[in-house]
Each structure stands twice: as structure tokens, then as C-alpha cells.
Homo-oligomer: A and B are copies of this chain.
Amino acid sequence: MVKRTSFEHDDCPIARSLDAIGDWWSMLIIREALFGISRFSEFQKRLGLAKNILTVRLRALVDQGILKTAPASDGSAYQEYLLTLKGRGVFPILVALRQWSEEFDEHPEEIATILVDKEKGKPVRKLELYSQDGRLLSAGDTALKPRAVVKQGGRLTA
């Protein structure tokens, strides 16, 4: 690679998200964390990834404020990894990924679980995107607008 491309300071928010959590393991670690997994060894067992990789990923997630370490909680003298607010904010992304598989995968019969609402136990609806005045939007109904920014000099830039 001669240096792997970083999107950390890209002006596209999608690229920025991908830079933060856009690899297989980070996303799956957050998925497990949302299930309540918090211990190093539990992550390692459930995901089956190499421990050194887990170490690196956990550290990166902590550095980015997606996970935080807590001294313990279940009595044992070890630490645990807990989601921050930012980390819990990844939930819609995971739901979107899940629903894409459910809708388009060629072997949906291999999918083992369904996302349901706790209260009724029924499958959730598809994620919906609305305009401010309440119209349901699809990709074609949207556009990108440059964010108007007033810089120090007072000039208007994109």
C-alpha cells in the first residue's frame, strides 16, 4: 500500500464514518457490544478473531470514543468495554446492514435471526427516511447540498 488511504479528514461524512468503523471487525464488535458483550475474552470467543487484532480494534474504538473501558462491574478484577453514546449511535447502521441482507441476499434461508420489537415480539419495519414535512423519501427524492460555511474572512465557502 505505501500508506493505506485514510478518510479521516475527507469532506464526505460517509467516508468519515467508514474510516472510523468501516471494517468488518469494528462493526461486529459494536454489534456484540449492543448485545451486552463487554469482556475481551467474550468478544474473542464469539467473533473468533485473533487476539492481537481484537486488541488493536478495541483500542481504536476506545480512542475514537465509541467504547470506553470501565474498571469492572461483575466483581472480577478485570476491565470491561462499554459502548458510549456515540457507540450506541451505530445501531441504525447495523439495522440498515441487516435489512439489506434480509431484502437482497440470495440465500436468506441462511440468516438465523430476525430483529423484533421487544414489546410485541414482531419483526420491525424497514428503516424509513422522511423529509421535514413528513414525506417518505427514497434515494431519488434526495439531493446533496453544499454546506454553507462562514469562514474567518467572512467569505462564503462550500
Contacts and interface: CB of A to CB of B under 8 A. Distances in A.
A18 to B, nearest CB: 5
Interface residues of A, number: 84
Copies in the complex: 2
B11 A111 contact: yes
A131 B139 contact: no
Contacts of A98: 13-14, 17
Interface stretch (A54-62, A67-75, A121-129): A121-129
Contact of A12 (B100, B113, B130): B113
B129 A97 contact: no
B113 A142 contact: no
Interface in A18-42: 18-19, 22-24, 27-28, 31, 34-35
